Chains A and B, each alone.
Chain A
Amino acid sequence: MNIINKVKDLDRKLDCFITVDEKSKPLCEGKLSGYTVSVKDCFCTNGLRTTAGSKILENYIPLFDATVVEKVKNEGGLIIGKTAMDEFGFGTFSANCAYKIPKNPWDLNRSCGGSSGGAGCISAVLEKHIAVAESTGGSISAPASFTGTVGITPTYGRCSRWGLLAYANSLDKPGIIAGNVKDAALGLSIIAGYDEKDSTSINEKVPDYTKSCRTNLKGIKIGIPKEYLSEGIDEKVKSHFYKAVETLESLGAKTEKVSLPMTKYALSSYYIIAVSEASTNLAKYCGIRYGATLPLKGNFDEFASKVRTKYFGEEAKRRIMLGTFTRMSGYRDAYYLKAMKIRQMIIDDFKKAFKKVDVLASPTMPVIAPRFDEISKLTPLQNWAMDILTVAPNLAGIPMISVPCGFADNMPVGLHIIGNHLDESKLIHTAYAYEQKANLNRGAEI
């Protein structure tokens, strides 16, 4: 069966693509020759529909490629399509996608996680596949954990955001999901790098991350933040995590307890900053120059309100309104500015820890992938609380990787390894050594 037909077949069962590119051809020979690549639907693809999971961009055909897409094309990657996601990245289960809700290949009644759910899903079932994904508050780690795949969220600014449909600009980080650490490292080596089109991208040389795939962990110090193993974490998840720590120690790593006292403020600070920025990014969608629209009627305010009300989903509306509130004069200092200050304190927390240890380790998600019927019963706040372990490193813009560390109730559990700014190599080293020893990566049968 040719690859596109195979992808279409998988998509029929799993709903992981918003758009499959049937005409795709590799542009050239390169490091990605022989690989298929999927792109989360929040990245612009020249001439290929890009929706960010939202109805407001239902027929949007970008005029340019995102930088990470261009880099993939230049290395001979075959882009098979655009993966499903929560609308503009607003979610942890991909259940807020306006098109399809990807199903977890390990149990079709369960979520793939989000917001890069489609990316996690396809990486779990397709070999030699690299999924270009994006994380704002945990959108790479969550699906990697839930689908038994490897997800790398690099340092903020390591990969260019040019062509990324913004959720929260100071938090958005392009990254990779793949079936194993080596493929993820390869993917990151290709999409990382300075870009003059993104003024916040970091002007530092990109190492070949695949060279960090080494198996000995002698000399590596791993910190275990005690705040990340509090009562909210599922006991089964915890026990797999402790087993993983033993494995890491058996490879020569030293582990020690560390404390990140600002942890309890991370969730609120994260959501305040994220919605404040998101509400400004989504202001541009008003039905005039591009995107979904209506016949011109009424004045501009009435027209824009009609278009936005019709095409934005509920979670988008919730975050737009909350973000409008948190930056409104009178509240701005207490919410937006205060959260920005706490963000600095959270970074300082991590910096202090990294003076003592090389990397930090914790469970990636507090639970295994929930069932859709469970998700539908969650309040927005309970929903947001699922990000409890991922928001702090995302706020700090430090890199993190999730690798499978076992199965609870036949569902994958993720080990989260977190590093200092630009320490992606250390994460890949640690994760690779663990992966080789634990030997838990296996594709889902479908």
Chain B
Amino acid sequence: MIGLEIHVQLATKSKMFCRCPTGYDESKPNTATCSICLGLPGSLPVFNKKVLDYAVKLSMALNCTFPKETYFSRKIYFYPDMGKNFQITQNESPLSRNGYIEIDLNGKKKKIRIRRVHMEEDPAKLIHIGKITDAKYTLMDYNRSGMPLCEIVTEPDMESPEEARIFMNKLNSILQHLGIFNPDFCTIKADANVSIEGGERVEVKNISGFKSIEAALKYEIERQNKEMKSSGKIERETRHFETETGTTHTLRKKEAEADYGYIFEPDLPVITLETDYLAKMRDVLPELPDARAKRIHEQYKLDKSVADTIVLDKHLADFFEECAKKIKNYELLANWVLGDLLKCINYNSITINDVSKNGFMELMEFIEKEKISPRQAKEVIKVFVEKGTSPKEIVKKMGGEAITNDKEIEAVVKKVLEKNKKAVDDYERGNENSFNFLFGQVMRETKSRAHPDIVRRVLKKLL
């Protein structure tokens, strides 16, 4: 079973308890600090209202329930990443509890329960000269100190790394739709609790980003299975995930629950979650992925699974809906967006926001009106995504629009048959492969401009 503790940095302008900026320059250490986030004696935290707004919205999106009051606590631990040697977090009174995220497992719905959502400050960044285990000393950059975090704790409801990945993708989409997470300067990190049948729970720390989660879990479960086979048991421990190698390593063995000696944070007043405030937050909640998928499914008559896939990336869904204003063959549009467009984006390591909507719609019009052949379109989209050139230009360079005229194609086919007598003979002797060969020659001759259906029909006729 897998349970996750996910730390999401929230995209506020200023930090959680001081007004230092969150969008600092990573390469310039200690340039976004003040007496509060450095933990200087005499400084006092002042809570950023936006952090509460964002965390409340997230809790609502995760179907959590709210208490009447919530407050902060001090979690005391000595570590150089914490200016005060304690972290302001929430302990017995988290912001919200008992929610869930519904995920889709090959058409089957499954609820992953959320135990709690709470708010806390991020520690500073430590740089170990060499490895953490043999470094001579540590360098500290307090720019990150005090960045606002939301911690989401799930129940151990996930049964495989794939489920965890699907869960994380869904969470990512929710964060995007809420507009509270900005991948440009926010990070997401997870700790995972992993246990296999008959073994004790192992905590894997330091899993960074949405993508590492599946790899880390796969490695850890495989390791536990091997361990179980060889020694018959899995001991309780905390392990560290190394992104570079994709492996986990023991950090602490069989340790009793660390004693953080929590006290209420006496520098911050209680927060009461008034009904009016919650209602106001609910009112401004944007359309969330589940509702949006349902609407897209109904409005554009798309398969539910296609709609679900589209909303997994808010920007992709926005892109789709924007294009759907003009391109009315929604199924075709969805196929191209989720198919070749995504492939090209990933290949070029860019994002959907880097793609020109107008350019793409131009291309889709060519396809929709069959002005270019599908093959041609596949070539055009590659160049369009990579270079950003307008599809019209690309098509022109490639020799023009599709050839849909039977006569024009007949002329080319005749030429090809003349040149490839042997293949024609082979075909007549019953070799089907020869047909494909001849088809390919025609396409090459027309630089893929010929419509494949017509080519097939003409070929058959003339053979």
Contacts and interface: CB of A to CB of B under 8 A. Distances in A.
Direct contact of A and B (CB under 8 A): yes
A50 to B, nearest CB: 8
A340 B79 CA distance: 28
B338 interface: no
Contacts of B107: none
Contacts of B264: 170, 340
**Interface size, B (range):** 20 to 34
Interface in B222-265: 257, 259, 261-264
A64 interface: yes
A332 B261 contact: yes
Given A199-B47, A199-B268, A329-B259, A57 B41 contact: yes
B78 A304 contact: yes
A43 B74 CA distance: 23
**Interface size, A (range):** 35 or more
Interface string A370-398: 00000000000000000000000000000
Residue with the greatest number of chain A CB neighbours at <10 A, chosen from B76, B137, B266 = B266
A425 to B, nearest CB: 25
Interface of B is mostly: loop
A276 B85 CA distance: 15
Interface stretch (A283-291, A311-319, A347-355): A283-291
Contacts of A340: 264
Given A44-B41, A284-B39, A328 B261 contact: yes
B266 to A, nearest CB: 4
B3 interface: no
Interface of A is mostly: loop
A199 B269 contact: yes
A165 interface: yes
Interface string A191-209: 0000011111000000000
A251 B79 CA distance: 60
B266 A300 contact: no
B148 interface: no
B37 to A, nearest CB: 11
Interface in A288-309: 288-290, 296, 300-301, 304
Contact of B78 (A57, A283, A327): A283
Contacts of B261: 279-280, 324, 327-329, 332
A47 B137 CA distance: 31
B79 A199 contact: no
Given A63-B35, A300-B138, A324-B261, A284 B269 contact: no
A296 B137 contact: yes
A327 B259 CA distance: 9
A194 B85 CA distance: 28
A300 B41 CA distance: 20
A280 B35 contact: no
Contact of A280 (B79, B137, B257, B263): B263
Interface string A324-345: 1001110010001000100000
B78 A286 contact: yes
A66 B76 CA distance: 25
A284 B85 CA distance: 5
A300 B79 contact: yes
A193 to B, nearest CB: 15
B276 to A, nearest CB: 20
B262 A163 contact: no
A283 B41 contact: no
B40 A290 contact: yes
Given A170-B266, A277-B266, A284-B85, A165 B80 contact: no
Contacts of B259: 328-329
B42 A162 contact: yes
A276 B264 CA distance: 10
B132 to A, nearest CB: 11
Contacts of A280: 74, 76, 86, 261, 263
A300 B46 contact: no
B44 interface: yes
A59 B104 CA distance: 61
A279 B74 CA distance: 11
B123 interface: no
B42 A165 contact: yes
A301 B39 contact: no
Contact of B263 (A44, A198, A277): A277
B267 interface: yes
A182 interface: no
Nearest to A57: B41
B213 to A, nearest CB: 30
12 contacts: A50-B42, A60-B41, A163-B42, A166-B42, A196-B46, A199-B47, A279-B261, A280-B263, A284-B85, A289-B40, A300-B79, A329-B257
Given A169-B266, A199-B268, A284-B39, 6 more contacts: A66-B42, A276-B263, A277-B263, A283-B78, A290-B41, A304-B78
Interface of B: 35, 38-47, 74, 76, 78-80, 83-86, 137-138, 140, 257, 259, 261-264, 266-269
- 7 shortest interchain CB distances as A-B pairs: A283-B85, A169-B266, A170-B266, A44-B42, A327-B261, A163-B42, A284-B84
